[in-house]
Amino acid sequence: MRISIGIFALAAASSAAASNEANSRVRQRPDEFWDHIIKGSDVVDSMHAARDQESSELVNFNMRAKAVDPSSLGIDTVKQYSGYLDNEAEDKHLFYWFFESRNDPSTDPVVLWLNGGPGCSSMIGLFEELGPSRVLSNLTIVRNPHAWNNNASVIFIDQPVNTGFSYTNKNETTSSLAAAYDLYALLTLFFTEFPEYSTQDFHIAGESYAGHYVPSIGHKIVSEPDTIINLKSILVGNGLTDALTQYAYFRPMGCGEGGYNAVLSEQACQTMESNLPQCQESIQKCYDGGSNTVCINAFSLCNRLFITPYSSTGADLYDVRPNQPELDSGINEWLNKPEVIEALGVEVDGFEQCDTTVYLEFLYSGDWMQPMHRLIPDILAKIPVLVYAGDADYICNWLGNRAWYKALDWSGHEAVNNAQVQALYAGDEHYGDLTVADNFAFIQIFQAGHYVPTHQPMGWRRMDKLEGEGVKLTMEIVNGLLRRASLLSKPKWIKTGETFKDKLVDILVEIGRLFADVDSLAKPQEISERLKSILDRLWAVNDELNSRSVGSGRDILNEPLSNENWMVGDLGPITKTDFSPQSLKPDRIQATEYRRKISQLMPFFQVAQATVWAVPMLSLPIGCSLTFLQNQHNSEEVLELKIQFSQALGGKASFAISRSLKSLGRYEGGAPRI
C-alpha cells in the first residue's frame, strides 16, 4: 500500500522526537471506563508450578476490555470487545478489536488476524479485506458478505507496538520474535478472561510481513507445553518467510513466467538474472548470523536490484495485471472520528494505517532478512500449516512461496514434493490449485493479487481434516467458493482526475530510472541535473495542486506546501533552495549541514504530516547523494551515516506518500511495506 523513493531517505523520527510525540497524543483512560481488567500477576498466582516460566512472562502484562455497543458504530450486530494489552514494565500498549462469529460462537473457531508492513495496522484487514464491514470513502458502511466472522470469531490486533491505535512512550519492538511475546501474553490473558472462547479451535492467520509474525507466534505457542491457547493451525497468505529463496523468483514473476504477461524488458530480466548471485550471497551472510549491518546491507542491495527496476516501470508491486481498479476506502477518516475513538476506548488521538518508525526499527534490527522458515518444521511437528498465495502478486509472489516450501527441510519434505496438485473448483470455476501432504498445504489462488481476501473474498468455514492418506489440511471457503470479485472504484486519495495522476506517473517513472541508473552516473553533476528536473516538476505539480480543490476524505492532497509559517526553524525559513541539487551535491556532503537542514524540517513535518510532496523534496537529494557516496567508497561508515540521517527525519510524511500514491508503484523505504 505504498511507494517511496529510497530506503534511507524516507525515515522515522528520532527516538526523542517519537517519545515527545507519543506523550502528547496519549490519553490513558481510568479503570472504571473498562468492563474487564485482568492482571497478569493474578493469572500467575493461579497457575500451576509447572508453568513457572510462562507465568513469569505474564507478571508485567495486564489486559483491558470494553464491550462495544454494536449499534453505536454499525460495523456488525455481533458481540464485540475492544481494548489494550498493557506491558507495564516496558510501557507498551497493544490495541485489539474482537468480533464474535455470526454463526455459532460456542463452537466456531477463533482466528487471530495480523497484517504486515512491518508497522501496518490490522484495521486494514478488518475494513479492506476480511472484516464484517467496509467503510467507503463517503464513510458509508457496507456489510461484507464474505467476512471471516461468518463462521469464526476474529481478533484483529495492531502490532507491533506503535502500529495503528497501539502506542508506547518508551520502548519500541524491533523484531518479529520479540513481537511474539506480546501476542502470546495477549492471547493468554484474553482466553483466561473470556473462557467461553478458550476451548474452540484457534488459528493464527496473516499476510505479507506476517510471513514473519505468524511463524514467530506459532512457534512460541507450540513451544509452551502447558499453554491454554488451543492452537490448531497457522495460515500465511502471500508472505515473506524465506527471503533467500523468494528473492530468486522476482525475475521469473516480472518476466512472464508466473502466468501473466511480462512487466519487465528483456534487458531488465537479463540484468536481474546476473545480479541474483550477489543478492543471495548477501542474504546468506545474514542467515549465517550476520550483524544488523550485514542484514541491512542485504536488504538495501537486494531491493535495489529486484524492487526498483520493477517499480520504475510504474507497475503495481502488488498486482502484475495492468489497470486494476482501486479499492474505495475511507477507513482513515472513519477511524479518526471522535465518536469512533470514544466507542472503542482508543487512547491515542489519531489513526494512521502504517507507521514508518516501526518499519524502520524492524529494518535496522535486521529482521527483514531473517530466515523465518526455519521455525516451520517445529510447528509442522505439532499442527498444520497452510500457505496460500494470490498468483498475480509480484512482491510476495506465488512462485517464491511455492519454492520455499518445496526446499524446506522437514520430515514431510519428500511427501510434499511428490504430492499431486489438486484442482479446486467452485461449481464450474477452477479457482485454484491445492498441494497437500502430511501437515502442510499450499494453495495457488487464481486471479488474485497480494491482498487475497480483497481480490478473492475468502471467508472462513472451518479447517477440515480430509479423509485419505497424507491429506490433513485444507481450507473450506464460505459457501464453498472463492469467487472472482471486482474491486470498487478509485480510492479516496486519487480524486483529482487523471491530470495529476498522469503527471505523477511520469515523475515516478523518472525517479525510478534515476535510481536504476545511479550506479552508472560517475559525475555528481549528472545526478544534480536529473534531480533538478525531477524537483522542478514536483514543485510545478504542487503549485497546481494548491490552486485546486481535490476532494474530501483525509485531505491528503489538500495540504498546501507554500505556507512559510510551517517552515520556520531556529535557523530561518526553509526554501526550495535548501532542497536543490546544487546545495546538496554529492561532492559537498557535510554531516553538520544535513543535520541543520533536517532539524529545521521537524516542525514542518509535524504540521504538514499529510503533505504528499514534502519528503521527495528532501529525500531525493539526500538519498541520491548518499547512495553515490556509498558507491564511491563502499564503506559501512557511509551506511551508518545513512541510518543516522534516516533516524533524524520525521516519519509521518513518508506515510502520506505511501498511502496517497498507492496505485502508482507502492513501495516504501527501498522496498514495499508488505
Q: Which residues are catalytic?
A: 208, 393, 450
Q: What is the DSSP letter of 3?
A: -
The DSSP bridge partners found for residue 610 are: none
> Burial of 327 by CB count in 10 Å (0-12 exposed, 13-18 middle, 19+ buried)?
buried
Buried b (16+ CB within 10 A) or exposed e, 142-179: eebebbbbbbbbbbbbbbbbbbbbbbbeebbbbbbbbb
First to last CA, the chain: 8
Distance CA 18, CA 599 (A): 14
Phi, psi of 258 (to 5 degrees): -105, 10
Non-local CB neighbours of 304 within 8 Å, separated by 6+ positions: 515, 670
Q: Which of 51, 35, 120, 138 is nearest to 84 (CA)?
A: 35
- In whole angstroms, what separates CA 495 from the centre of its chain? 24
Please list, in sequence order, all residues whose beta carbon lies within 8 angstroms of the beta carbon of residue 8, skipping any fewer than 6 positions away.
Answer: 300, 622, 623, 626, 642, 643, 645, 646, 670
Nearest to 661 by CA among 527, 504, 531, 512: 504
* 532: exposed, middle or buried (Cβ count in 10 Å: 0-12, 13-18, 19+): middle
| One-letter identity of residue 418 | N
Residue 169 and residue 92 in contact, taking contact as beta carbons nearer than 8 Å: no
Burial 640-672, CB ≥16 within 10 A → b, else e:
ebbbbbbbbbbbbbbbbbbbbbbbbbbbbbbbb
Q: Which residue has the cell 492532497?
A: 557
